Amino acid sequence: MKDVMGVINVVGRNSDLLGALTGPRCIASVPFGGKYRLIDFVLSSMANSGMQNVAVFTREKYRSLMDHLGSGKNWDLSRKQDGLIILPPHSCDGQSLPDFDLKSFFAHRNFFDRSSQKIVVVASANIICNVYFREAVRYHQETGADITVFYSEMVANEGGPPRRCLKVNETGRVLELVERQSWDQGTKVLLEIYILSKSLLMNLAEKSFLPGGADLLTGGIIPNLQKFNVCAYPLKGYSAVVDTIDLYYRHSMDLLCPQVWEELFFIPGLIHTKVKDEPPTRYLEGSAVANSLLANGCTIAGTVENSILFRGVRVHRGARVKNSVIMQKCEIGEGALVERVILDKDVRVSAGKALTGHDKKPLVVEKRKIV
Amino acid sequence: MVLDKECVAMLLAGGEGRRLGFLTRELAKPAIPFGGKYRIIDFTLSNCTNSGIYTVGVLTQYKPLILNSHIGIGIPWDLDRKEGGVTILPPFAQEKGGKWYRGTANAIYQNLFFIEQHNPRYVLIVSGDHIYKMDYSLMLKYHQEKGADVTIAVIEVPWQEVHRFGVMDVGEDGRIITFSEKPKTPPSNLASMGVYLFNRKLLQKYLQKDEENPLSRNDFGRDVIPLMLHEGCRMFAYPFHGYWRDVGTIESLWEANMDLLAAEPALDIYDHNWRIYTVNPSQPPHFLAATARVEQSLINEGCIIHGTVQRSVLFTGVRVGEGSLIEESIIMPYVRIGRNVQIKRAIIDENTVIRDGCRIFSRSDTEPPQIILVEKSMIIQENTEISM
């Protein structure tokens, strides 16, 4: 893997996708799964696969992302040679900031030129997965593909945000990438993870100033399906794309399935995140917790069901938390009821208050609110 | 608060912990897991960092591998520094051959060159065996205010236990009048916590003297402190009020863990202004299944619980199967417990597998109760009963 570098793409179309959750931050640093941020899954996969050079391309609202990533030490990417680098927006024509990934790659072409690696794995930050990229890179080399695109065979879907579905021939070459809103069981759905050579990526980046050519997928890959040998690689194991509040909620709840928990967090490697040094979670007399995921540092005196609690949450006596995602350091007051809600960090729900979301839509409460 | 270089801490971590049975078969006492997440030495190391002491020598001797890899270069405690930081000081060979550390004083004596390297005014000597939170910078301030040569931290202990400690008779101004190690008729119930603050030059002088005395056992409590007192050094007792435990036995280790489960624990590990740092394995949040019931317990990350857990401490990555009942027990990292298992008043050491239907319990009702200890990396076959 000495010859492979990682690019995590936080530029472009996904800056405000999660409403209130992406109000104060970019999508890559949206908290997920009790102690993680969305970017941790792809970043840990890259680090666990042995990549030593990983660049995170950002565009806006990246302060919390920088704070989270730090020097990259938590992913073992604080290195003398290469390591983790955050590449903020950088104008390439001296005027506007790049709004598409290829333009951003072009603006930072010196970084690519100076990197010794010849193969690049480009991935979106909002994919929940645990991947061993070594196998995928081997597949890429064995098939002799120009570009390898990842897909997963998703369960049948109706509605929701449109996804690109793959049409593949018998040799695994991608013929079409069609946008659809519903599909049947077993359809190959694109995950925005690509493997290609650095020279090809730079080539596409240079052409990003031609009309319609600024986005790697829609400007670089789709128009060139005939020209390039684009191959499909199946991502095995749990995977999910988080790009709406509904999907954020639904995929958070997926973690309450023990099989998903066992698979996603352990196989093939562990998911790393910023260390917070919280003590173990403390359950007091009278606590009743079932079917829930709890990070460290919580103090629980009340009832918690079908929920995900991040680090340092306090649930007071008589409080009930149901079907909810409660982020870091929230406090649920005595006798309060919280149902079908997503509480962003540091929210305080006063004693006796009831907060319930709709059957179809969870209620999202912004960071640091007092309810 | 910059105490660095002004004060160097020497942390004694060579203890064998003989009365802890096979818990210390492969590791030194300071490396024993505690509180669902920590090792005992984390408390002292965190005290150093939180007190602003960033130069720490850790003296190891007995089975140091786990301790060494735990401490590493000191990253979790912010002790990875360009200058100072943490240095592990094992016994070493010299021109005249190798020498083990013969006693606490000899261990420091053999490392005087390490202290000299940093040229501090004060040397803090602490033990890695104790569980407590203490701000050493306040002790240093006291030491300076009193114009002391040596300051010893003291805590009031119950009279029936005094005979286990170094005990002091202290004047009204805090000056130590007598010091006796494990006395039969103690003059007070003020026990030494094994936390000593020395003026460095004086420490050097007396360690030299102690070394030259062939009758000395080279121990601070038994030899160096009485000698200094005898020769008229200004020695003061620094009163400490708070939680402090020397967990010397299986029962006291169990009790100290249970102390964390009180409604208002005397040792607050949730204080964000005085965090206890340790190595963090990248484990996911723990999962309590629909059938789980957990009360009055501490559960660390990476656990998956289907059964009932009451008044217990579960370390990283423990699994508890459906229908199992864990009460008043300490379950060390990565223990796998099957279905319909009952465990009461036991310590299950790391990586042990307990298969379905086992019963492990202590009927003891002494205070503290006798505790069953199940060794590490064992496989306990189905329906085994272990009781006493």
Interfacial residues of A (vs B; Cβ cutoff 8 Å): 33-35, 44, 73, 256, 258, 261-262, 265-266, 270-273, 275, 277, 279-297, 299, 308-309
> Which of A258, A275, A289 is the closest to B294 by Cβ?
A289
Among candidate residues B276, B249, B248, the one with its CA nearest the CA of residue B260: B276
Cβ within 8 Å, pair B285-A258: no
Distance CA B250, CA A238 (A): 43
pLDDT at residue A100, rounded to an integer: 84
Cβ within 8 Å, pair A35-B300: no
Which chain B positions have a beta carbon within 8 Å of A256's beta carbon? 287
Distance CA A184, CA B302 (A): 35
pLDDT at residue A91, rounded to an integer: 73
Is the bond into B368 cis (omega within 30 degrees of 0)? Answer: yes
The answer to whether the beta carbons of residues B192 and B153 sit under 8 Å apart is yes
pLDDT at residue A92, rounded to an integer: 66
Which chain B positions have a beta carbon within 8 Å of A272's beta carbon? 282
Q: Provide the CB-side half-sphere exposure for B161 (13 A, CA).
A: 11
Residues 6+ apart with CB under 8 A from B374: B346, B347, B348, B349, B352, B354, B360, B380, B386
Cβ within 8 Å, pair B288-A296: no
pLDDT at residue B24, rounded to an integer: 86
Intra-chain end-to-end CA distance of chain B, in Å? 52
pLDDT over 90 (residue B1): no
Cβ within 8 Å, pair A283-B269: no
Name beta bridge partners: B124: B9, B197
Cβ within 8 Å, pair B270-A272: no
3-state secondary structure A338-366: EECEEECCCCEECCCCEEECCCCCCEEEC
Among candidate residues A345, A336, A343, A335, the one with its CA nearest the CA of residue A362: A343
Average pLDDT over residues B195-211: 96
Disruptive mutation site among A294, A303, A315 for chain B (greatest number of B CBs within 10 Å) = A294
Cβ within 8 Å, pair B288-A289: yes
Residue whose tokens read 């300051």:
B151
Specify the length of chain B in residues: 388
Distance CA B25, CA B2 (A): 39
Which chain B positions have a beta carbon within 8 Å of A299's beta carbon? 270
Written as six digits, the tokens of A270 are 């562990």
Disruptive mutation site among B282, B310, B311 for chain A (greatest number of A CBs within 10 Å) = B282
Which chain A positions have a beta carbon within 8 Å of B270's beta carbon? 279, 282, 297, 299
Interfacial residues of B (vs A; Cβ cutoff 8 Å): 35-37, 75-76, 263, 269-270, 275-278, 280-301, 304, 313-314
pLDDT per residue as tens digits for the range B152-186: 999 999 998 898 899 999 999 999 999 998 888 88
pLDDT over 50 (residue B2): no
What dotted CATH number matches A282-365?
A: 2.160.10.10
pLDDT at residue A248, rounded to an integer: 94
The answer to whether the beta carbons of residues B164 and B182 sit under 8 Å apart is yes
Which chain A positions have a beta carbon within 8 Å of B295's beta carbon? 283-287
CA distance B292 to chain A (A): 6
Distance CA A348, CA A332 (A): 6
The answer to whether the beta carbons of residues B329 and B369 sit under 8 Å apart is no
Distance CA B135, CA B142 (A): 11
Torsion angles phi and psi, residue B21, rounded to 5: 55, -145
Which chain B positions have a beta carbon within 8 Å of A284's beta carbon? 263, 295-296
pLDDT at residue A13, rounded to an integer: 60
pLDDT per residue as tens digits for the range B307-365: 999 999 999 999 999 999 999 999 999 999 999 999 999 999 999 999 999 999 998 88
Cβ within 8 Å, pair A294-B299: yes
pLDDT at residue A15, rounded to an integer: 62
Name beta bridge partners: B176: B170
Q: What count of other Cβ atoms lies within 10 Å of the Cβ of residue A245?
A: 18
CA distance A8 to chain B (A): 21
Alpha-carbon torsion, ordered B306, B310, B315, B320, to 10 deg: -20
Residue whose tokens read 């399935």:
A257
Longest dimension (CA), chain A: 66
Average pLDDT over residues B243-249: 91
Which regions in chain A score pLDDT beneath 50?
none
Q: Which residue in chain B has the smallest CA separation from A34? A: B285
User: Matching CATH topology for A4-266 and A282-365?
Assistant: no
Cβ within 8 Å, pair A299-B270: yes
CA distance A364 to chain B (A): 22
CA distance B272 to chain A (A): 9
Which chain A positions have a beta carbon within 8 Å of B283's beta carbon? 265, 270
Distance CA B343, CA B355 (A): 12
Residue whose tokens read 């179809």:
A360
Q: Which amino acid is at B316?
A: T
CA distance A89 to chain B (A): 31
Name beta bridge partners: B126: B11
Torsion angles phi and psi, residue A172, rounded to 5: 95, 5
> Which of A282, A286, A293 is the closest to B285 by Cβ?
A293
Disruptive mutation site among B280, B291, B293, B300 for chain A (greatest number of A CBs within 10 Å) = B280
A4-266 is classed CATH 3.90.550.10: yes
Written as six digits, the tokens of A264 are 């996603």
Distance CA B252, CA B273 (A): 27
CA distance A183 to chain B (A): 32
Among candidate residues A279, A327, A325, A282, the one with its CA nearest the CA of residue A300: A282
Q: Provide the CB-side half-sphere exposure for B136 (13 A, CA).
A: 34
A–B interface: beta-carbon pairs under 8 A: 106
Which chain B positions have a beta carbon within 8 Å of A35's beta carbon? 284-285, 301
Which chain A positions have a beta carbon within 8 Å of B298's beta carbon? 279-283
Specify the length of chain A in residues: 371
The answer to whether the beta carbons of residues B191 and B132 sit under 8 Å apart is no
Cβ within 8 Å, pair B295-A284: yes
The domain ranges of chain A are 4-266, 282-365
Which chain B positions have a beta carbon within 8 Å of A290's beta carbon? 288-293
The answer to whether the beta carbons of residues A371 and A349 sit under 8 Å apart is yes
> Which of A258, A272, A295 is the closest to B301 by Cβ?
A295
Q: Which residue in chain B has the smallest CA separation from A286? A: B295
H helical segments located in chain B: 41-50, 65-71, 104-109, 112-118, 136-146, 200-212, 225-230, 250-259
3-state secondary structure A116-167: CCCEEEEEECCEECCCCHHHHHHHHHHHCCCEEEEEEECCCECCCCCEEEEE
CA distance B287 to chain A (A): 5
Cβ within 8 Å, pair A277-B290: no
Cβ within 8 Å, pair B37-A296: yes
What are the Cα distances from residue B224, in Å, to B106, B130, B230? 10, 21, 10
